[in-house]
Structures are given as structure tokens and as C-alpha cells.
Amino acid sequence: MRLLVLLTPLVLAACALGADPTPEALRSLPAGAWQLEKPHASLIFRVKHLGLSYYTARFADFDATLDFDPANPAAAKLTAIVNPMSVRTDHPTDAGWDAQLGGSLLGGNQFTQITFESTRVETTGETTGRVTGNLTLRGVTAPVTLDITYNGGMDRAVLYQGRAAVGFSAKGKLNRSAFGLTQYASFVGEEVEILIEAEFTKR
């Protein structure tokens, strides 16, 4: 009982601190399979429109699994699946635009999934790395590289029922023509920027 009284302030203090961004915290995380916490993950892409703006859209439905050992990050494996029909552009007047973009341009009418499977993981610093993998979009597979930044980790995340949690940001670029996405080349840029935020918890 007295132990509980002693522990309570410590637990509360730990909650208030949030994730630890230090390399030591990253290294102390448990090894194994991690699952994406979907409500706390986002997948955004941007493409230049008319040479005027960075047109920004987002996929609302995707999932990822991470096999990760902090002692050996180069052995990590990342797989992701994205529902192309879940693309969200917030078009103000055309309610059918997302379905057209997802179904026709991004291949959702024929291919129910966009997939990514890592083939190579490198560390570039104590809390940064690079993941190369095969992206399959519209049934076409081509390599894509993502730059990864570790944001923080928690041994016991109250939000996730005490499971260990880790958070990453990832950025990458692809040339859309590599996936046969050649439409609207006169006013939509060739380069697509990918921005990912992801929280994972230990299974």
C-alpha cells in the first residue's frame, strides 16, 4: 500500500513527460513486431499544380506493420497497404472527384491496394534512417526511398494501455510517370512528395 503511494507520483510524472526523443530511449525500446496506431498516423502527398501551388491530398485508410529491433535497425522490415479509394482532397464542389482520382488515376477501380514493402533499411544518424522499398501503385512496382526521423518513444504509453510506443516521420519523393501516372502532365507536376507521420505500438 505504501509502495503504491510512493509509485503514484512517479507514474504521473512519467505520463506528463510524453515520449522521449533521445537516442537512448530509441535503443531501449523492445524488439519485435509493431502495429500502426491508425488514428495517429497520416499519409499525405503533394504535387505541383499549374506551377502555382502544392496540391495536397491524403489517404484516410491505410495500415502498416513494422518489424523493428532497436539494437539492429538495419534489419527492420516495413510493409504498408493503402486503399486508393480512400484518397481525400476536400474538393469544395465536385463530390465525385475523390472517387475519380482514387478509382481512375490511382488505379482503385482495378487494384484494391497500393502496397509498400521495404527491401533495405539504413541508419543515417542516431535517430534518422532511410528505408528503400518496392511501391506497387496501379499494379506497377518501382523502388521508392523514404527518409525516416525518429520523434520519440515510450516504454509504457498510457494512451496505448501501457504498451510500448514509438513515433516516426517519413518523407520521400517519387516520379509519378514511373508508375504510368502520366495524365495531366501539362499542368500537374511529375514529382510527388510523400509525407508520413506514424505512431506504432508493440504487439
Residue numbers of the site for another protein (CB under 8 A)?
A: 16-21, 38-42, 44, 46, 48-56, 58, 60-61, 86, 88, 90-94, 151-154, 157, 159, 165-169, 197-199
- Contact between 164 and 29 under an 8 Å Cβ cutoff? The reply is yes
Q: Based on CB atoms, which residue is closest to another protein, 60 or 178?
A: 60
Q: Who contacts 13 (Cβ-Cβ below 8 Å, separation ≥6)?
A: none
User: To the nearest whole angstrom, how small is the minimum distance from the Cβ of residue 168 to another protein?
Assistant: 7
Alpha-carbon gap, residue 118 to 100, rounded angstroms: 29
Q: Based on CB atoms, which residue is closest to another protein, 3 or 51?
A: 51
Instruction: Please give the grid coordinates belonging to residue 38.
Output: 491508425
Q: Within a 10 A sphere around the Cβ of 48, how many other Cβ atoms?
A: 16
Q: Based on CB atoms, which residue is closest to another protein, 21 or 142?
A: 21
Alpha-carbon gap, residue 59 to 191, rounded angstroms: 18
User: To the nearest whole angstrom, how small is the minimum distance from the Cβ of residue 40 to another protein?
Assistant: 6
User: To the nearest whole angstrom, how small is the minimum distance from the Cβ of residue 5 to another protein?
Assistant: 24
User: To the nearest whole angstrom, how small is the minimum distance from the Cβ of residue 167 to another protein?
Assistant: 3
Closest to 185 (Cα-Cα) out of 44, 45, 46, 48: 48
Q: Based on CB atoms, which residue is closest to another protein, 78 or 166?
A: 166
